[in-house]
Amino acid sequence: METETKTVEKQTNCLGCNKPLKKLRRYYRNGKYYCTKKCWLKAISAKKGTEEGAQK
């Protein structure tokens, strides 16, 4: 019996702090949701950091 549960990647958590997103307080940027602008900045700065690290 196959009981494979497919996890649909529905974004419910903030990409900055990984906390569950609340409907009222969310910050939408580039197709992703964050809870605040701070979290968005955190997420993009973290991404930048890894990209720079990979280049060097």
Residues contributing to the site for Zn ion (CB under 5 A): 14, 16-17, 35, 39
Residue 16 CB, nearest distance to Zn ion (Å)?
4
3-class DSSP state of 51? helix
Q: Are 47 and 25 in contact (CB under 8 A)?
A: no
Q: Which two tokens stand for residue 9?
A: 């990647």
Rg for the chain (alpha carbons), in Å?
Answer: 15
Residue 6 or 28 with smaller CB distance to Zn ion: 28
Looking at beta carbons only, is 17 or 41 nearer to Zn ion?
17
Cβ nearer to Zn ion, comparing 2 with 9? 9
